[in-house]
Structure 1
Amino acid sequence: QVSDEAKYEADEACQWERGTFPYALGRSQPIAMQVLDVETYVDSGKGYDRTNVKLYGITRDGVSVCCVVTDYFPYFYFQTAQRNLSNILAGAIRRVGAGGQNLSSEVIDILVHLKIVRGQQLYYYRGTEEKQMFVKVSGTQLTLNKAKHVGTLFAANIDADVKFMAHTGIVGYGWVGVPVAKGNVVSAGRMTSRCQMEVTFNYKDLIVHSTDGEWADIAPLRTLSFDIECLGRRGVFPDPSNDPVIQISNMVKLQGKSEPFIRNCFVLGTCAGVVGSHIIECKSETELLEKWADFIRRVDPDIITGYNILNFDLPYIMERAKVLRLPKVAELGRQRNRACSVRDQSLSSKQKGSFENKVIDIHGRVIFDVLQLVQRDYKLRSYALNSVTYHFFSEQKEEVEHSSIPDLHNGDNQRRRRLAVYCMRDAILPLRLLDKLMSIVTYVEMARVTGVPLNFLLTRGQQIKILSMMIRRCRKEEFFLPVIDVTGDGQSYEGATVIDPLCGFYNEPIATFNFSAFYPFIMIAHNLCYTTLMKGAVGEEGVDYTRTSSGKYFCTKEKRKGLLPLSKYDLLAARNNAKNDLKKENDEFKKMVYNGRQLALKVLANSVYGFTGSTVGKLPCLEISSS
């Protein structure tokens, strides 16, 4: 016999899951999917290494999809003189033997393929627009690694995910058409992911949509916010090697909705009910963690959020799972039989100095830690959740001292109820903050503008944004990005002068100068770019070149229009378009989208200056930043 409580929990679990699958398996039309995460990996299933790409996304109906994209080969370039081409190609022919005839596709797949392409190096203006000879080397990752001894390389040190997205035109949180008719819809019993649908297809069949018009909207993303409570010892901060997890609260809401549609709390022991929420009582910590992990897999969230979950809640749960030998608890991502990975990341900034963060990969989902978001984007006196809540909402949550948690947990079910209410408030507040600050919409638009996955924006800093933009522009204009040996030799540039204010009370109006897009317009006006940089003065100043105040030379736009000025002009024009769309739009949600887009474009346009001045970046150019 099944108890009433068990029946209730079974019914509740059904409500956690996504809706029914609305697509016919024989569907001929592509399915529109918004790309949430991208993962490049090596598949050794056929006896040799093969590079595949997984795209995780959500349809307009809220269906989760995993796309396995095949037949994409990583690549890099090297430059060669024209006289060497015949020898290079002859060597390639000798490798495949008899021109590649009578060889199986499996053998051809593991070889390095060579192709002659034309373009120009990114650095320096050479007085001519003539294209130079480059050899494109593509193949499996293993063969590419063996081929990297050929000389000066181009595009060889770019992140594989970013390179694939630039190659196909995909942008973070952009829409694509999944070609189900040309691909293979994987049956439920053979799926490697936990998504509702899994499709395998050739990357050339992928349909990429723009981010304008009907493709400017955002799919009904599921955002899950959670918080944990631990039974620590008095006067000692909770230690995952000893102290158990006693409660985990969860709130789940859909993008665009104001209230969560799931409110629950997993509690160790009995607990009095909470109006409007579901209390799941557990007899042991093992049961609590296993039920919570199953809850995550059933809800299938797209975004996981909370307050300080990257450096506390998630690592704590992962460590407790190790201590209790519960490997399934760590399987929170969208891949079956694959645990989340946790690693330390050393970071530094002028504002915070050197510090360490945890980086957690929950494949197919985005971790959006509200604490790190607020620390990155706002200057506050205190970043405690209570202080942040008061700053943005002028209200304070009920505070429970950590020292009183053991008494509440060890008390009766009413006292555990008080702790559960406190825990659930800590889970709802991050959702309220995300809505108040429009964080998800703003970061989605930044991902679209820069072309990178959203999790890159949260973990990788400013460099990856500009690099992605440069890769796309260079691909369009046939320029090749060199691999630069970064030595960090101590060279630097002097940044902008900031004049100290004369503080005090003034009873007369104070006139100020506010330059619109100051740095971008300097770079546009003086044509500052990698492609316009000159090694010395050639020709007539003002006609053929410009000499900057730092003594650097750049050719005039009449000789060549730089990629950076062109990119900045496009960014500023796109920002003006977004601001105009914002003024015309009546729909409140679309207003948020356009506002997020114009803010993202503003940040990106102003970030190029710092990108060129980073001596440890992918494309340093102090000649630009110092000018």
Structure 2
Amino acid sequence: MLNATHPATVPLSRKRTERAFSPGPGDSAGPSSFKKARPIGPSQSFGEELELMSVNNSELAGPRASHRTIGAADCAQSLVFQLTDFLPHNFRSNSAALLFGVAAESALRVLVVVTDLQVSFLDFLEHQQIQTMCRVELPGGKYHENEQPERLSHNQIELIIGRQDLIVHPVESLWKMVGSESLRILSFDIETSIPEDKKSFPSPHHHAVLQIGNIVQETGDETRSYRVIYTLRGCSPIVGAEVRSFDTEGDMLLAWRQFVIDCDPDLIIGHTIARFDLMYLIHRAQLLEVPDFACLGRLKGHNTKVAEPDPKLPWRKSPILPGRLQLDVLQYFQEKTRTLAGCKLGELARKYLNGSTKEADVDFTMMNELQNGSDDDRKRLAVYCLKDAHIPMRLLFQEKCIENSVAAARQGGDFLPFSDFLRTGRNFQY
């Protein structure tokens, strides 16, 4: 039916009630795209690992296809998509529901505006039995395109349908499993300068963001990835990763926001991103007056509001980016093991990734020293930062975090996408 094209998208963000989800396979590159890999030892430097990885696939950096216009012939056919996120909305002065998803045939990102709710948003979810990562069908002839200038999002397709015409396939049926549509995942990590005493918690009011490390992959294809590091000041080249350096922190943050828009991830992951990294970035951008930085989701005009970054904050305080799922591996393993003990990133790597560790020759107390050193010093910091983005991605795939989160959310009987399900905390609170 609808086929993907290329050009650009432009997303943004939101804050909503306590409720959210997950993904399927992508394109696979041929054997010529990959270096011949040797086994990687647990203690091997990540710089050496990067050299052995597949070619750095810049296609995953985007930009994705821009808005698509579809015709009457397309709307006459049924459209099936896998639901990823949803939220209430006031559309043309009436209550509506926004359903974000990935189209089954074309893999285009879809926003569906469901009108004529006639009930509250939560009652709508329960009445329609809308569960995490379920499949939704729009029957042919029952929906139409939401045309400019009313576009609400930066998704490639926007459609409108009445509640009574929506078909939600039960997850107990053949629609049960997470679908085959490929979801793009961004794993990121930040490094900041640290207080002089090397003990206090960094504050966005006083300590700059020094680097942002990023790994991009797609579900269903773990062989392809894109690695890029954003650095404040110069950095020596890193084989196997792209280095983007900036003279000012504001320029670096603005460029990273554009990267998120172009990359257009369906799922954002990392270790402590929910209560630290995202909050820290948004606070720094506000202080530096970086325009529209907090518009990181897919819904136009939604600036994410955040609390002061603090790893001890309740999970419900974590920022939500509309249209993008989030999974913090710290919380995932905290929920899995029922304790915070052993949930530091290095401990998780050793336990679940065959004895892997964080980059051994760099410690957080060295941040200021390395930043103020040479380009080679900042390269050491960059390799450290990239590995801290790489480990969560490996954990996500190896430990089936997406599948397990979807299953847990469905078993709970709540009508939530999985990122909000994790936000509420299932068993205990910290």
Taking structure 1 as the reference length, the TM-score comes to 0.54
Question: Relative to 1, partners in 2 of residues 1:223 and 1:181: Cα closer, same or farther, differing over 3 Å?
Answer: same
Q: What's the CA shift for 1:317?
A: 0.6
User: Match for 1:250: what amino acid?
Assistant: N
Provide the residue aligned with 1:289 in structure 2. 253
Q: Give 3-state SS (helix, strand or coil) of 2:293's partner.
A: helix
Task: Find the structure with the greater CA-based Rg.
Answer: 1
User: Match for 1:266: what amino acid?
Assistant: Y
Give the alignment partner of residue 314 of structure 2, picking from 340, 352, 356.
356
Equivalenced residue count is 359
Residues 323-472 of structure 1 aligned to structure 2 (within 5 Å): 323-343=287-307, 356-357=314-315, 358-378=317-337, 379=339, 381-393=341-353, 394-399=355-360, 400-449=362-411, 450=413, 451-462=415-426
Q: What's the CA shift for 1:345?
A: 12
CA distance in 2, matches of 1:319, 1:180: 45
Q: Give 3-state SS (helix, strand or coil) of 1:216's partner.
A: coil
Provide the residue aligned with 2:158 in structure 1. 198
User: Match for 1:69: what amino acid?
Assistant: V
CA distance in 1, matches of 2:170, 2:394: 30
Cα contact 1:266–1:292 (8 A) shared by 2: yes
The runs of at least 4 consecutive aligned structure 1 residues that moved more than 6 Å come to 20-23
Provide the residue aligned with 2:111 in structure 1. 66
Cα contact 1:66–1:198 (8 A) shared by 2: yes
CA distance in 2, matches of 1:21, 1:215: 30
Matched, 1:262 2:226: yes
Provide the residue aligned with 1:93 in structure 2. none
Matched, 1:279 2:229: no
Give the alignment partner of residue 173 of structure 1, picking from 102, 114, 133.
133
Q: What's the CA shift for 1:289?
A: 0.6
Provide the residue aligned with 1:213 in structure 2. 174
Deviations 1:214-263 (A, max 9, x none): 66342211111100011223224321012111111111111122245221
User: Match for 1:221: what amino acid?
Assistant: L
User: Match for 2:369: what amino acid?
Assistant: D
CA distance in 1, matches of 2:68, 2:176: 21
Give the alignment partner of residue 30 of structure 1, picking from 78, 82, 100.
78
CA distance in 2, matches of 1:363, 1:22: 20
Q: What's the CA shift for 1:323?
A: 0.6
Provide the residue aligned with 1:42 in structure 2. 90
Q: What's the CA shift for 1:203?
A: 1.3
CA distance in 2, matches of 1:343, 1:270: 31
Question: Relative to 1, partners in 2 of residues 1:263 and 1:25: Cα closer, same or farther, differing over 3 Å?
Answer: farther
Provide the residue aligned with 2:63 in structure 1. 17
Residues 531-542 of structure 1 aligned to structure 2 (within 5 Å): none
Cα contact 1:234–1:403 (8 A) shared by 2: no
CA distance in 2, matches of 1:182, 1:334: 25
Q: Give 3-state SS (helix, strand or coil) of 1:234's partner.
A: coil
Question: Relative to 1, partners in 2 of residues 1:392 and 1:165: Cα closer, same or farther, differing over 3 Å?
Answer: same
Q: Give 3-state SS (helix, strand or coil) of 2:188's partner.
A: strand
User: Match for 2:261: what amino acid?
Assistant: R
Provide the residue aligned with 1:518 in structure 2. none
Q: What's the CA shift for 1:429?
A: 0.4
Cα contact 2:60–2:216 (8 A) shared by 1: no
Deviations 1:297-343 (A, max 9, x none): 11111111100011110110111111112241100011112111325
Cα contact 1:344–1:359 (8 A) shared by 2: no
Deviations 1:90-149 (A, max 9, x none): xxxxxxxxxxxxxxxxxxxxxxxxxxxxxxxxxxxxxxxxxxxxxxxxxxxxxxxxxxxx
Cα contact 2:279–2:309 (8 A) shared by 1: no
Give unmatched runs, 5+ long, in structure 2.
1-56
Cα contact 1:345–1:356 (8 A) shared by 2: no
Matched, 1:253 2:217: yes
> Which structure would you say has the larger RCO, counting Cα contacts within 8 Å and 6 or more residues apart?
2
User: Match for 2:280: what amino acid?
Assistant: Y
User: Match for 1:71: what amino acid?
Assistant: D
Q: Give 3-state SS (helix, strand or coil) of 1:297's partner.
A: helix
Give unmatched runs, 5+ long, in structure 1.
1-10, 76-159, 347-353, 464-609, 611-627
RMSD of aligned alpha carbons:
2.8
User: Match for 1:410: what amino acid?
Assistant: N
User: Match for 1:72: what amino acid?
Assistant: L
Cα contact 1:229–1:245 (8 A) shared by 2: yes
Q: What's the CA shift for 1:372?
A: 0.8
Provide the residue aligned with 1:239 in structure 2. 203
